């Protein structure tokens, strides 16, 4: 029997994961993709910020890939996009199913799963030595936009469910950084502080 409260709990938790990953992706782009931020990073603490850059990127890629794990691994359910898509399949309209396909296509086209599997999660010898090439196709704004699409999809799904009543989910822009507390502001503060 369908229980809207359980569905809302599942979807809210999944949305919280998506929002956290989106915040990391936005922070990464603010600190390491914007030209002025890159210049500040290179002028202040290049070695330290290089380590932070890699850590944040690995975190975003790893967590985003986990969101797209299969519904089950080793006889255990994964709390993933595919799991929720299967669990709530009766509530996806044709339009929402098409949105799912579009999102899954975007993830595939970004090449992040192969990149993560061969170069982050495992040090595949052929990939490490360049005998096989596993590159991602991530460009600026790709990940925040992908995560916005995921957030919008699941907000629309809960809206389409029977008995949702007063249940609402926060959509696009949830968890955005303020202008005074973001990656660019952090780098600027580091630059000013390093010159004292």
pLDDT of residue 167: 72
The mean pLDDT value for 88-113 works out to 96
- Greatest Cα pair distance, the chain, in angstroms, is 65
Structure tokens at 8: 């809302």
147: pLDDT strictly greater than 80: yes
Q: What is the pLDDT of residues 8-30, one digit of tens each?
A: 999 999 999 999 999 999 999 98
Q: What is the pLDDT of residues 102-133, one digit of tens each?
A: 999 999 999 998 888 777 787 778 877 878 77
Share of the chain above pLDDT 70, in %: 89
pLDDT of residue 177: 67
pLDDT of residue 170: 64
Q: What is the pLDDT of residues 40-57, one digit of tens each?
A: 888 888 888 888 989 999
- Give the 3-state DSSP-derived string for 18-77, with helices as H, strands as E and coil as C: HHHHHHHHHHHHHHHCCHHHHHHHHHHCHHHHHHHHHHHHHHHHHHHHHHCCCCEECCEE
Record the pTM: 0.84
Structure tokens at 39: 């210049």
On whether the CB atoms of residues 77 and 83 are closer than 8 A, the answer is: yes
Higher pLDDT, 86 or 178: 86
Q: What is the pLDDT of residues 133-143, one digit of tens each?
A: 777 889 999 99
């Amino acid at each position: 029997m369908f229980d809207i409260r359980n569905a809302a709990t599942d979807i809210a938790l999944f949305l919280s994961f998506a929002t956290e990953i989106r915040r990391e992706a936005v922070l990464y782009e603010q600190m390491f993709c914007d030209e002025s931020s890159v210049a500040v990073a290179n002028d202040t603490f290049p070695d330290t910020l290089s380590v932070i850059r890699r850590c944040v990127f690995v975190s975003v890629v790893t967590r985003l890939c986990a969101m797209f794990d299969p519904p089950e691994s080793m006889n255990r359910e994964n709390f993933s996009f595919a799991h929720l898509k299967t669990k709530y399949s009766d509530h996806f309209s044709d339009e929402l199913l098409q949105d799912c396909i579009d999102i899954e296509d975007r993830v595939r086209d970004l090449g992040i799963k192969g990149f993560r599997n061969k170069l982050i999660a495992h040090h595949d010898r052929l990939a490490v030595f360049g005998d096989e090439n596993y590159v991602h196709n991530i460009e600026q704004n790709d990940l925040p936009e992908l995560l916005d699409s995921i957030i919008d999809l699941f907000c629309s799904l809960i809206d389409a469910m029977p008995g949702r009543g007063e249940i609402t989910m926060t959509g696009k822009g949830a968890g955005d950084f303020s202008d005074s507390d973001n990656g660019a502001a952090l780098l600027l503060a580091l630059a000013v502080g390093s010159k004292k």
